[in-house]
Structure 1
Amino acid sequence: MKGIRFIHAADLHVDSPFLGMQQLAGPIFERLKESTFAALDRLTVLAIDEKVDFMLIAGDLYDGEDRSLKAQLRLKKAFEKLDENGIPVYVIHGNHDHLSGKWLDLSWPANVHVFSEKQAECKVFEKNGTIVHLYGRSYPERAVYENMTAAFEKQKGADFHIGLLHGSVSGNTEHDAYAPFTAGDLLQKEFDYWALGHIHKRMSLREQDPPILYSGNVQGRNRKETGEKGCYLVSMTEAETSYSFVQLHDVRWEELQLSADGSFQDMLNRLHQGLDDMRSSREPVVVTVRLTGTTDFYHALKEEPVLSDMLEQWNEEESDRENFVWISSVINETMPISSADTLQLDSHFLKDLTEMIREFDQFDDALQPLRHHPVYRKHMQDFGEEEKEQIKKEAETLIFQELFKHRRL
């Protein structure tokens, strides 16, 4: 029976600068900066150990359009190792590493096949009598708003047909809506597998007949990209397709949501227990602690030294650990214990204020003054829809906390 085995990976973001994290302890920050390279090395070793027939990378190999020489050299070294083991690599470029950027161009080894940015292409893989057609197109520029799948045309003469696509499902507001498509668009092509990239979360649009999968990124890069990161190892025969997720990340990002109910000591005990539980994984973890609930020590938590002392007390020994559990930040969403007698704010005002915050959409206007500042231009990138929603949520918490600020109970 004819069959193939391959790896589906995406969103390597090699040499990500981890902007805004320079405040982390030196060893922690250095481990983060090298984590995308470590994930690439693990991806390469996996392909060789599993003796896969080929590897697919569904966009965003690099973190930016002006890819660093270091990133290119490390990728070239990885691809050369795959070439030595007879493993071809099929690549599309996405919105981060589109082909209109500027860089010192390096030649890839012969096993690397990059899809054109000018048109949708079909590349042919053949081994032991099994023929596979692979379809894809790279981004010609950062913002691609057309449905790229419209130009994918199934070619005759193959045992298996696989599509590579970097984009988002139409109507998805959590990410930039580049190369939008629907699951129906993909099903119409009658391919056997769709290898998707762009969404940094592992997810399935369809589990079988055919599988339509986002593998997610291989290494989390900030507090929103939590959990295990890696790739899919896929086996395909004429009878069935099976796939399994393989972890590749070097550092895991997690969020610990913690209730502030009870005494301050109760909260500290829960914090330490939660962090110790994360340590049981025996791998480096960067943690965001989110404090929630109502508490009678709300006003103490609003004092800057309290939260900073909590971080310092826990983190002081973590930078010396190989498998650290490092608290990167504490988000305080607690509220004071209130009652009808102590809360003298009109309910209609609260409702209107909440709706105004949640419907706010003037981000570009609000950020315009900052965009003229050189520090902002150097270290910041445009906010995605998910980031904007998180900012609004945190702003809502801060505004209500200010309203309660002088209402000591």
Structure 2
Amino acid sequence: MRKSIRFIHAADLHIDSPFVGLKHLPSQLFEKMKESTFLAFSKLISIAIKEQVDFVLLSGDLYDAEERSLKAQLRLKKEFERLAQAGIKVYVIHGNHDHLGGKWLDLDWPGNVHVFSSKQVELEIFSKGGTPHAYIYGYSYPSRSVIENMTTHYQKKDNHSVFHIGMLHGSIEGNKEHDVYCPFKISDLVSKDFDYWALGHIHKRQILHERNPIIAYPGNIQGRHRKEAGEKGFYLVAMHEDRASMEFISTEEVIWEDVELSISSLTSFSELISECQSAIEQFRKNQRSVCLTITLTGAGDLSRSLQSKETIQDLIDALNEEEAEYDPFVWVVKIVNQATDSIEKNPKLSSFFNDLHTTVENYQSFEEVIQPLAQHPLYRKYIAAFTLEEQKQLLAEAEQLIHKELVEQSEVKKS
């Protein structure tokens, strides 16, 4: 009969992320952002100790870059030492960002830390009271780009009295939303007859397979830009003989949020500013620091003024003017303008705009359209494949541009 185990599954810490895109923040807020990845990991360690877990799994990209800083390593070592004092083991694999072919000043880790080999898939036995409780299998990247399907090298060692856990940093084969490393099929992982697959690389929390085995991405522990919105953290996992449970626990120090505001009923910029401020205050009530993206939607009289980039930037500056004085803060990082002129003024265009929106929503020929451009050597050298999210954003911008041009031309003809 297998013994019960409890562990934390985390990944993609990206300790010491530079947050280059936020250097325009006031200095005290920027320092808080740079410190956020460290604080999020420290929160994870405190919870591990409080919950008295058996071990912590870190499934790759502990650091943000292959040339990891001494500061990042020392902070990580300090947290590992806290776990060592509590008798908690740590199992680490390295991924594409922190592969073992990088350059850094090598530090000795505490004895409770095991870093898996980059030469082959390695088996490490977790024992408690002299009795094996889990077989943990892992592999670290020897270089940034590992494009082989490594699942063939994960071979289950026959032992029915322990749990079998695989640690893998990679993505589903054919996934175009992220750089594909260590590609795998879900069926590959299921066929290994493990109990749990602790995945890393994808920053969006998701469970790919709910049982026999559980296959999960915990996401990263701290969002770093507006595409990593919402709560970030790790899974607390409990495994028993015939059942398993998972609890997501958030760790982010600063959360990235999105809000949509319609301009349809607004007649002045004062009203727009008031609506934005009301949204900001709602987030402030949650007592957590927020990097906020405001998307303006709807159709109304303010839309033409909002076409100016200078106007949008002035609005952002006005909303952020005194925000550096707040702790926690709510900082508007971006305003996305999707507002349009009221089609009520152009009833003949209404049907066309509806058809246009339907076409954009169901458009499937993106790759075909850019194929001539993609064949150019400069394009192939400098531009990565567009993710699905980026494709949708480009299509939305194209729809907005067509909408704007047609409305303006219609008004010209009327005059």
Structures share a fold, TM > 0.5? Answer: yes
Aligned partner of 1:57 in structure 2 is 58
Counterparts of 1:73 and 1:393, CA distance in 2: 45
1:79 matched to 2:94? The reply is: no
The residue type equivalent to 1:149 in the other structure is T
Counterparts of 2:354 and 2:3, CA distance in 1: 67
Aligned partner of 1:126 in structure 2 is 127
Moved more, 278-287 or 24-33: 24-33
Moved more, 323-332 or 218-227: 323-332
Q: Is the 8 A contact 1:94 1:166 kept in 2?
A: yes
Aligned partner of 1:378 in structure 2 is none
1:162 matched to 2:165? The reply is: yes
1:210 to 190, 208, 213: 213
Counterparts of 1:238 and 1:164, CA distance in 2: 21
Structure 1 residue 387: deviation in Å? 6.0
Counterparts of 1:142 and 1:383, CA distance in 2: 18
Matched-pair identity in %: 44
Alpha carbons of 1:403 and 1:360: their partners in 2 closer, same or farther (altered >3 Å)?
farther
Q: Is the 8 A contact 2:353 2:403 kept in 1?
A: no
Alpha carbons of 1:342 and 1:20: their partners in 2 closer, same or farther (altered >3 Å)?
same
Counterparts of 1:390 and 1:70, CA distance in 2: 39
Moved more, 203-212 or 116-125: 203-212
Structure 1 residue 25: deviation in Å? 2.2
Structure 1 residue 363: deviation in Å? 6.7
1:70 matched to 2:71? The reply is: yes
Structure 1 residue 272: deviation in Å? 2.8
Task: State the superposition RMSD in angstroms.
Answer: 3.0
Alpha carbons of 1:356 and 1:106: their partners in 2 closer, same or farther (altered >3 Å)?
same
Q: Is the 8 A contact 1:232 1:246 kept in 2?
A: yes
Name the count of aligned residue pairs.
399
Aligned partner of 1:135 in structure 2 is 137
Structure 1 residue 67: deviation in Å? 1.1
SS in 2 for 1:249: coil
Deviations along 1:323-358, one digit per CA (max 9) or x if unpaired, are 111101101112222426579x99999979x88767
Deviations along 1:345-387, one digit per CA (max 9) or x if unpaired, are 99999979x887674364795976996xxxxxxxxx9677256
Aligned partner of 2:370 in structure 1 is 360
Aligned partner of 1:27 in structure 2 is 28
Deviations along 1:78-122, one digit per CA (max 9) or x if unpaired, are 111111211111011111111121122212111111111111111
SS in 2 for 1:298: coil
Aligned partner of 2:254 in structure 1 is 251
SS in 1 for 2:65: coil
Q: Is the 8 A contact 2:193 2:212 kept in 1?
A: no
Aligned partner of 1:279 in structure 2 is 284
Alpha carbons of 1:140 and 1:261: their partners in 2 closer, same or farther (altered >3 Å)?
same
Structure 1 residue 300: deviation in Å? 0.9
Deviations along 1:258-310, one digit per CA (max 9) or x if unpaired, are 22212245544443332222122110000011112222221111234432232
1:110 matched to 2:111? The reply is: yes
1:366-377 alignment runs, 5 A limit: none
SS in 1 for 2:107: coil
Aligned partner of 1:41 in structure 2 is 42
The residue type equivalent to 1:173 in the other structure is K
SS in 2 for 1:235: strand
Moved more, 216-225 or 303-312: 303-312
Aligned partner of 1:261 in structure 2 is 264
Aligned partner of 1:288 in structure 2 is 293
Q: Is the 8 A contact 1:342 1:407 kept in 2?
A: no
Q: Is the 8 A contact 1:261 1:267 kept in 2?
A: no
1:336 matched to 2:334? The reply is: no
Aligned partner of 1:311 in structure 2 is 316
1:191 to 186, 191, 194: 194
SS in 2 for 1:49: helix
Counterparts of 2:355 and 2:282, CA distance in 1: 43
Q: Unmatched 5+ residue regions in structure 1?
A: 372-380
Counterparts of 2:72 and 2:31, CA distance in 1: 16
Counterparts of 1:137 and 1:389, CA distance in 2: 33
1:168-179 alignment runs, 5 A limit: 168-179=171-182
Counterparts of 1:223 and 1:335, CA distance in 2: 23
Alpha carbons of 1:222 and 1:390: their partners in 2 closer, same or farther (altered >3 Å)?
farther
Counterparts of 1:170 and 1:147, CA distance in 2: 9
- Please, what TM-score do these two structures have when normalized by structure 2? 0.87
Alpha carbons of 1:254 and 1:55: their partners in 2 closer, same or farther (altered >3 Å)?
same
Alpha carbons of 1:73 and 1:285: their partners in 2 closer, same or farther (altered >3 Å)?
same
Moved more, 18-27 or 246-255: 18-27
Q: Is the 8 A contact 2:125 2:132 kept in 1?
A: no
Alpha carbons of 1:366 and 1:39: their partners in 2 closer, same or farther (altered >3 Å)?
farther
The residue type equivalent to 2:122 in the other structure is E
Aligned partner of 1:200 in structure 2 is 203
Alpha carbons of 1:169 and 1:56: their partners in 2 closer, same or farther (altered >3 Å)?
same
Q: Is the 8 A contact 1:8 1:215 kept in 2?
A: yes
Aligned partner of 1:6 in structure 2 is 7
